Amino acid sequence: MVEPPRVDVPEQPLLILGTHFFAPEVLDLISETPGFRVDGFVENLDRERTLEPVAGLPVHWIDDVAPFGATHRAVCALGTTTRSRIVEEAAAHGLGFSTIVHPLARVSTRSTLGEGTIASVGVIVAVNTRIGRHVILNRGALVGHDTVVGDYVTVGPGANVAGLCTVGEGAYIAMGAVVLDRVEIGAGAVVGAGAVVTKDVPPNVQVVGVPARIVKENVAG
């Protein structure tokens, strides 16, 4: 039996924004996602972190990445919703952004993911859902149908956001949390690990518990 000729998939070279614990995990995800190749990391807070490689790859200072703008794209590997700072700095230096969907994630063809978003292993995004820019859908996160997720949101491992929900920009939904259908999570709000959200959550508050209740105000993702 003659095997069909192998077709090489062109690889988009990438830089990963961030150098801390989540960065090697994103590298691992990308290494299993056809069409991409990571060439290095980018740091924007501590220049000394550029002195040592991460996972064998070089670390570039944010002000030095402009020459990569013509060839490379970026994806952000900061777990906090304050990642907008390094994303905006990278964009100002001419870097565009790629969307990463691991082969073991399932995203409906009738849904959309914004630039820079990461859908990790086991993620499911149901039909007619809009995921914003630079969103992190961590391991096993579930997002239901007809839900809108704003920019810079983090949905933690195993979290379950039901259908017809709205999650505001920069909100953080922690590991194992459950958001029931037709609930709105305000911008910058934090849903604690394991919480069950049964009613709307105002912007910039932290909720915990079953059912979730407000325990802190004036938070920012």
pLDDT at 81: 80
Which domain range does residue 143 map to?
100-208
**Three-class secondary structure of residue 214 per DSSP:** strand
* CA-based nearest residue to 78, from 150, 10, 26, 131: 26
Rg (CA), the chain: 18
Are both 104 and 202 inside the same structural domain?
yes
Q: Please tell me the total count of domains within the chain.
A: 2
pLDDT at 9: 62
Q: Assess contact for 111 and 146: CB atoms under 8 A.
A: no
Q: Does residue 145 have an active-site annotation? A: yes
Number of Cβ within 10 Å of residue 148's Cβ equals 16
- Domain end: 67, 97, 127, which one? 97
pLDDT at 79: 86
Mean per-residue pLDDT pooled into runs of 10, the chain (221 residues): 59 97 96 97 96 97 97 95 93 98 98 98 98 98 98 98 98 98 98 98 98 94 77
Q: Assess contact for 67 and 83: CB atoms under 8 A.
A: no
Are both 64 and 119 inside the same structural domain?
no
pLDDT at 119: 98
Burial grade of 77 (CB within 10 A; 0-12, 13-18, 19 or more): buried
pLDDT at 73: 98
Cα–Cα distance for residue pair 145/148, rounded to 1 Å = 9
Say which of 20, 60, 72, 145 is annotated catalytic: 145
- Domain end: 97, 123, 152, which one? 97
- Supply the pTM of this predicted model: 0.93
Cα–Cα distance for residue pair 35/10, rounded to 1 Å = 6
* CA-based nearest residue to 105, from 92, 81, 118, 122: 122
pLDDT at 1: 55
Cα–Cα distance for residue pair 81/174, rounded to 1 Å = 12
Are both 90 and 107 inside the same structural domain?
no
> Is 4 a domain residue?
no
- DSSP, residue by residue, 151-170: TT-EE-TT-EE-TT-EE-TT
pLDDT at 10: 81
DSSP state at residue 89 = H
